[in-house]
Chains A and B, each alone.
Chain A
Amino acid sequence: MDLKDLNSMQFDVFRELGNIGAGNAVTALSKLTNLRIDMAVPTVSFLEFNEIAEKVGGADKDIAGILINLSGDIEGMMMYILSTKATRSLVNLMMGSFTTTALNEDIENYSDIELSALKEVGNIISGAYLSSLSALTNLTIITSVPYLSIDMAGAVLSVPAIEFGKISDKALLIDTEFGTSDNSVNGYFVLIPSLDSYGVILKSLGL
């Protein structure tokens, strides 16, 4: 199926899938951190690769990206992107009294256990996102272990861009911004299905 063939109703379907997935993920994150976390209405867009990084604040902005590869009935990637400040506050929340690192401390100063905790957060909330998608569509979605990279947005996002760049100049991006009112924990969920997966998803929903 070609990207150009998607009509506005199908766009709405992807937006709704993003809404349900992110809703579950935000609920999981909220339970985990005991924080009130709000989310925006997801946006669905076909983006050129250089526009993807602009979405999360620019190619040279420092971020933490947790990436999960998807396989099974659909293929693609799920990314969970956090600002550096949010990364630190999330780690501190997860580690409780075990860590005393200040929020403004050097981003690279994470211990192995802190990095592991961060990946686990990614695992839990992506799991919530994807299992709701899986339940809705009745499709089997197999996830990889979470991979973490803390670096410039352009560099981190070059990985999905290259993967999807093999078949297309654009990628379908379902992204949802979330955050607490004081911005201590905020970020994006980004779901990028492969070209072949659009049709599979739509078909599973009878569209």
Chain B
Amino acid sequence: MEKIIKVGMADLNVCIAPDAITTLGLGSCVGIVLYDKIKKIGGLAHIMLPDSSKIMNNSNKAKFADTGIDTLINDMKKIGAKEDNLIAKIAGGAQMFEFSSNSDMLRIGIRNVEATKFKLKELGIRIVAEDTGKNYGRTITFYPKTGELHIKSMGKDIIIV
């Protein structure tokens, strides 16, 4: 029977069709889905911060956009994915509160998205779908079987990208 694998905050995991992979309540964090269409392998990272090199405590690789993507690719390769086949879908990076002053906190969602795009570009992985920014949270579920990413937000219809 197919299962849905849950990924928490600052966490990542991989799955093979027909299994699916999900993360609940993405806020300013970014959910990065990598997909090997040929092998039907999916990976999902729920990153919190843009850059591991600017932070002292960076042992948790899944916490950062740069190291999170590297680790996710490695884990996907371990179960048979090929790096050349990978495409990406990203969601999240919202601004949950309308902060008036603290600019660092104000921009964290945007900076997470920028860092994610930068890293993916560096690795030559194409982003085929994106639902980022705005001011609401997202629950995302990825189905490697079809390649569909379902995005659910409070009081809104499900978006499929």
Interface residues of chain A, those whose CB is within 8 Å of chain B, are 48-50, 53, 58-60, 62, 67, 69, 106-108, 144-145, 147-159, 161-163, 165-169
Known: A154-B9, A166-B57. 19 other contacts (CB 8 A): A49-B8, A49-B10, A59-B9, A59-B25, A60-B24, A62-B154, A69-B102, A147-B98, A151-B27, A151-B136, A151-B137, A154-B24, A154-B27, A158-B29, A161-B48, A162-B28, A162-B49, A168-B57, A169-B10
Measured between beta carbons, the chain A residues less than 8 angstroms from B108 are 162
Q: How far, in angstroms, from A4 to B27 measured CA to CA in the complex?
A: 29
Which A-B residue pairs are the 9 nearest by beta carbons? A154-B25, A155-B137, A50-B8, A158-B27, A155-B27, A59-B24, A59-B25, A152-B25, A147-B97
Q: Is B94 an interface residue (CB 8 A)?
A: yes
Measured between beta carbons, the chain B residues less than 8 angstroms from A158 are 9, 25-29, 48, 96, 137
Interface residues of chain B, those whose CB is within 8 Å of chain A, are 8-11, 24-29, 48-49, 55-57, 59-60, 63, 94, 96-102, 105, 108, 135-139, 154-155
Can you name 8 A-B residue pairings with CB atoms under 8 Å? A49-B9, A151-B137, A152-B24, A152-B25, A152-B27, A152-B139, A162-B48, A167-B55
Is B154 within 8 A of A108, CB to CB? yes
Is B27 within 8 A of A147, CB to CB? no
Given contacts A147-B97, A165-B63, contact A153 B154 (CB under 8 A): no
Given contacts A60-B25, A145-B100, contact A151 B154 (CB under 8 A): yes
Question: Distance (Å) between the CB of A26 and the closest chain B CB?
Answer: 24
Question: Distance (Å) between the CB of A131 and the closest chain B CB?
Answer: 22
Measured between beta carbons, the chain B residues less than 8 angstroms from A157 are 25, 27
Measured between beta carbons, the chain B residues less than 8 angstroms from A106 are 155
Given contacts A50-B9, A158-B25, A159-B28, contact A169 B57 (CB under 8 A): yes
Question: Distance (Å) between the CB of A65 and the closest chain B CB?
Answer: 8
Q: How far, in angstroms, from A62 to B100 measured CA to CA in the complex?
A: 24
Question: Distance (Å) between the CB of A46 and the closest chain B CB?
Answer: 14
Measured between beta carbons, the chain B residues less than 8 angstroms from A159 are 27-28, 96-97, 105
Q: How far, in angstroms, from A206 to B93 measured CA to CA in the complex?
A: 42
Question: Distance (Å) between the CB of A166 and the closest chain B CB?
Answer: 6
Measured between beta carbons, the chain A residues less than 8 angstroms from B56 are 167
Measured between beta carbons, the chain B residues less than 8 angstroms from A167 are 55-57
Measured between beta carbons, the chain A residues less than 8 angstroms from B98 are 147
